A = this chain, B = another copy of it.
């Protein structure tokens, strides 16, 4: 499974929350205090980091193992190997036949999956607490006992190639997106598709998979996240009993990534495809992530995205959809959760016979207005409240909670990045939001994309 979702940093909210009344006329501020969950963090002797998140609402537990290695850590010419290895991790070990782990999870009514991102690869099961030891045993086993035979390589390669065909090459939006990212990242490996370039996927071998596995799948390059109805001490004891047996195979890894050069020119990508039924406009700017940004810049970008286009009360929606009525949708987003430089995006689709060029003009008008006059205190307060509310909603999901912690730790963040997020957000000023807008929403940092039906 490929992953490229937006990370919502905040799940742990502690502070002021503004409650929006249903009629939208007025914003009242109510004090809602949400203590951060009592997360337990520790580390085994072999370097495996452990996070236990209590969630006692139901007798269910989410067990995730995160490797700090994704597609951006692949060797040159081996694009797709991180994702290919993710598939191959289900093909059995020295002691466990292919498919047995998945079968056991299914037998007890559990769920399992795995996903590969640019920065990490993760495997998880959602199971009853009694089955945790079983899941940990299997997961620990495949952390060091994977065996791959030639018989599994070729059929599984067909699977990933078919995945590429169905997810990228059959989807005009994805075809365009692939070139947009390769263009935005002129040099950095975030410009390489997670699933891989097809010509390189064809050449991936058993040895490539094993090399990636041996280099990165070591306990000191992994994070264990367990969320659910469990005692932290028991989880740690079980982890010691299972993962504790896995010896670290490499020295601690420092990611070796090239730095994306400062962007200097605006770029536009046009793609026409007979399969496109509705044209759409999008634009991405190169911006820093939570991990790489200077203090408060990432939080300011998060707020900026919310103000410009995070909801139906944002500037873009109000202008393009409600007032001008030229768009069916319009918005902005900030994908803050990555190890290196990341993306700040805009999108909009023309309504009826409206022109895609006019959608772009209207988006630019909104951006320019903001750059000129800046944001208001009300906008800032509302955006902050909306982000905190989203975080609270997200927190309701055990899987989301586990993913948040896994993601933040996998990309080099720490618990403070989660715990202090609400207060960092609260500390952002109007001037700071205006400053990141001026600094980063410059056309020469951007790639604009037009998706159109074949003309």
Interface of A with B (CB < 8 Å)? 76-77, 79, 175-176, 178-179, 182-183, 186-187, 191-192, 197-200, 256, 258-259, 261, 263-271, 443-444
Contact between chains at A192 and B197 (CB < 8 Å): no
Chain B residues contacting A197 (CB-CB under 8 Å) are 187, 259, 261
Q: How far is the CA of A175 from the CA of B197 in the complex (A)?
A: 28
Contact between chains at A200 and B270 (CB < 8 Å): no
Contact between chains at A186 and B175 (CB < 8 Å): no
What are 29 A-B pairs with beta-carbon distances under 8 A?
A: A77-B258, A79-B187, A175-B264, A175-B265, A176-B265, A178-B264, A179-B186, A179-B263, A179-B264, A179-B267, A182-B186, A183-B183, A183-B267, A187-B191, A187-B192, A197-B261, A198-B261, A199-B259, A264-B271, A265-B269, A265-B271, A266-B271, A267-B267, A267-B269, A267-B270, A268-B269, A268-B270, A270-B443, A271-B444
Task: Please pick, from B186, B264, B443, the residue contacting A191 in the complex, using a CB distance under 8 A.
Answer: B186
Query: Contacts A175-B264, A200-B259 hold; do A182 and B192 have CB atoms under 8 A apart?
Result: no
Chain B residues contacting A268 (CB-CB under 8 Å) are 267-270
Q: How far is the CB of A87 from chain B (nearest CB, A)?
A: 21
Q: How far is the CA of A186 from the CA of B198 in the complex (A)?
A: 13
Contact between chains at B200 and A77 (CB < 8 Å): no
Contact between chains at B258 and A200 (CB < 8 Å): yes
Chain B residues contacting A183 (CB-CB under 8 Å) are 183, 186, 267
Chain B residues contacting A182 (CB-CB under 8 Å) are 186-187
Chain B residues contacting A191 (CB-CB under 8 Å) are 186-187
Contact between chains at B261 and A266 (CB < 8 Å): no
Q: How far is the CA of A433 from the CA of B259 in the complex (A)?
A: 42
Chain B residues contacting A269 (CB-CB under 8 Å) are 265-268
Q: How far is the CA of A261 from the CA of B269 in the complex (A)?
A: 17
Q: How far is the CA of A235 from the CA of B76 in the complex (A)?
A: 41
Contact between chains at A77 and B266 (CB < 8 Å): no
Given contact pairs A199-B259, A270-B443, enumerate 11 new A-B contacts (beta carbons under 8 Å). A76-B76, A176-B265, A182-B186, A183-B186, A187-B192, A197-B261, A266-B270, A267-B268, A268-B268, A268-B269, A271-B444
Which of A187, A198, A200 has the largest count of B CB atoms less than 10 A from its CB? A187
Q: How far is the CA of A258 from the CA of B183 in the complex (A)?
A: 17
- Return the 10 tightest CB-CB contacts between A and B, nearest first: A182-B186, A268-B268, A265-B271, A197-B261, A77-B258, A179-B265, A266-B270, A199-B259, A267-B269, A265-B269
Q: How far is the CA of A267 from the CA of B258 in the complex (A)?
A: 24
Q: How far is the CB of A452 from chain B (nearest CB, A)?
A: 11
Q: How far is the CA of A271 from the CA of B179 in the complex (A)?
A: 19
Query: Contacts A182-B187, A192-B187 hold; do A199 and B267 have CB atoms under 8 A apart?
Result: no
